[in-house]
């Protein structure tokens, strides 16, 4: 049985003091909800506070990006080793906002993924088509290609620490959501690609999330789909009640 994972992506929101208040409020609200793993991916400067505030709870903490080098002259970047030492367990790689605004490519996403896995982090690998690609009918080709490029050189053993987040770019932060059928179909295409690369057993095991305006109103229907094993949640992860409602939908 694959795990359902409900992960928040705070993006560039929340200060350390807000982080402490948020997690202190959230922890009792999601206590005992053990049918899914609960993760909050937070800005770098919030990680230490988040780890401390989440101690003793079922909330896991992650970062929102990682650099691919172990160390060196990369001003402003953060290495996987730094994230591990500060207590992060997860890291988002390849989010569409990184690809769109910060020039990340499948090549750098692949390098970041491999560096994070080598350091022992769990990777939430984001991929998905833009609106023009969906309208052109090439969504399947795009997500399949991204899956292959982003995971190039990742071993079957390392894949056990990878979660894929299917995030149609047109649905992120827009209030537009893929229909449950679209989400299921495209997550299914990604699973088929994993089967071709790593075999059926690995494809059955891997958690594939949907992300893109998932909220307390649509989570239940999306999560009910066979190939949708959780959610990566932006906006709705910034409110304890909304995030808890999504966790409840997964339970
Ligand atoms: C995201 O940031 O990954 C995301 C899915 O955002 P939102 O839920 O706000 O669309």
Domains of the chain by residue range: 4-250
Token pair in block for residue 117: 């896995």
Q: Which residues contact 78 (CB under 8 A, 6 or more apart)?
A: 44, 63, 65, 66, 67
Residue 210: band (very low, low, confident or very high) from pLDDT cuts 50, 70, 90: very high
| Active centre residues (catalytic) | 95, 167
Which pLDDT does position 224 carry in this prediction?
97
With b for 16 or more beta-carbon neighbours within 10 A and e for fewer, the 87-98 pattern comes to: ebbbbbbbbbbb
For the stretch 31-51, pLDDT in tens is: 999 999 999 999 999 999 999
Band (pLDDT 50/70/90 cuts) for residue 222 is very high
- H/E segment holding residue 163: strand 162-166
Confidence of residue 196 (pLDDT cuts 50, 70, 90): very high
Please report, rounded to a whole number, the percentage of residues in the chain having pLDDT higher than 70: 100
Residue 47 Cα to ligand 1 midpoint, Å, equals 19
Mean pLDDT of 145-171: 98
What does pLDDT average to over the chain?
97
Give the pLDDT band (50/70/90) at residue 250: very high
Residue 1 confidence (pLDDT): 81
Residue with tokens 């400067």: 45
CA-CA distance, 188 to 213, in Å (whole number)? 20
H or E element, residue 118 = helix 106-119
Provide the pLDDT for residue 120. 98
- CATH number of 4-250: 2.60.40.3950, 3.40.50.460, 3.20.20.70, 3.40.50.620? 3.20.20.70
Residue-level pLDDT at 175: 87
Whole-model pTM: value is 0.98
> Above 90 in pLDDT, residue 147?
yes
The atom number, within ligand 1, closest to the CA of 95 reads 3
Show the ligand 1 pocket: residues with CB < 6 angstroms. 9, 11, 167, 172-173, 211-214, 232-236
Q: What 3-state DSSP class applies to 227?
A: coil
Token pair of 87 as six digits: 């207590």
Separation of alpha carbons 148 and 152, rounded Å = 6
C-alpha of residue 72 to centroid of ligand 1, in Å: 31
Site to substitute for ligand 1 among 235, 236, 245, most atoms within 8 A of C-beta: 235
104-144 tens-digit pLDDT? 999 999 999 999 999 999 999 999 999 999 999 999 999 99
User: What is the C-alpha separation between 88 and 121, in angstroms, rounded?
Assistant: 8
């Amino acid at each position: 049985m694959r795990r359902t994972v409900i992960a928040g992506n705070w993006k560039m929101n929340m200060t350390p003091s807000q982080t402490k208040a948020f997690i202190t409020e959230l922890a009792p609200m999601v206590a005992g909800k053990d049918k899914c793993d609960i993760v909050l991916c937070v800005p770098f400067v919030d990680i230490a506070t988040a780890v401390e505030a989440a101690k003793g709870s079922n909330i896991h903490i992650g970062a929102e990006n990682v650099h691919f080098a172990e160390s060196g002259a990369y001003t402003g970047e953060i290495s996987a080793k730094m994230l591990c030492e500060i207590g992060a367990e997860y890291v988002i790689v390849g989010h569409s906002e990184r690809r769109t605004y910060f020039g990340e490519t499948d090549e750098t996403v692949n390098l970041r993924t491999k560096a994070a896995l080598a350091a022992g982090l769990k990777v939430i690998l984001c991929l998905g088509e833009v609106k023009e690609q969906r309208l052109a009918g090439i969504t399947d080709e795009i997500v399949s290609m991204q899956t292959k490029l982003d995971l190039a050189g990742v071993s079957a053993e390392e894949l056990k620490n990878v979660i894929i987040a299917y995030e149609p770019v047109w649905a992120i932060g827009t209030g537009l959501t893929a229909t449950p059928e679209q989400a299921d179909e495209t997550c299914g295409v990604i699973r088929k690609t994993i089967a071709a690369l790593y075999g059926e057993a690995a494809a059955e095991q891997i958690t594939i999330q949907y992300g893109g305006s998932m909220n307390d109103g649509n989570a239940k229907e999306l999560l009910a789909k066979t190939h949708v094993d959780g959610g990566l949640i932006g906006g709705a992860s910034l409110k304890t009640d909304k995030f808890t409602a999504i966790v409840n939908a997964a339970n």
